[in-house]
Amino acid sequence: MANHKSSLKRIRSDEKKRIANRYYAKTMRNALRDFRALEDKAIAEEKLPKLISSIDRLAKRSIIHKSKASNLKSKCMKRIATL
């Protein structure tokens, strides 16, 4: 176990960040799941900008990799095209 004050503080802050990151990633995955379940093209097109925004935000914060974000957005666009 770490003994320095700074390393103890780092452990505490890292845990808070980890929990926050998990929350945002899970929220995005749930939104993605709901988006994929949609059957109506109009509703899907309406929800797409908000979903893409949340994916971009996670990539910007390095919660998900930028390539993964790009792949997810691409698949969402393809999903709308096939509806």
Rounded Cα distance between 83 and 48, Å, is 13
pTM for this predicted structure:
0.86
Helix (H) or strand (E) holding 34: helix 5-37
The pLDDT tens digits along the chain (83 residues) read 678 999 999 999 999 999 999 999 999 999 999 999 999 999 999 999 999 999 999 999 999 999 999 999 999 999 999 99
> How far apart (Å, rounded) are the C-alpha atoms in residues 76 and 83?
11
CA distance 42 to 27: 22
Domain parsing of the chain, residue ranges: 58-83
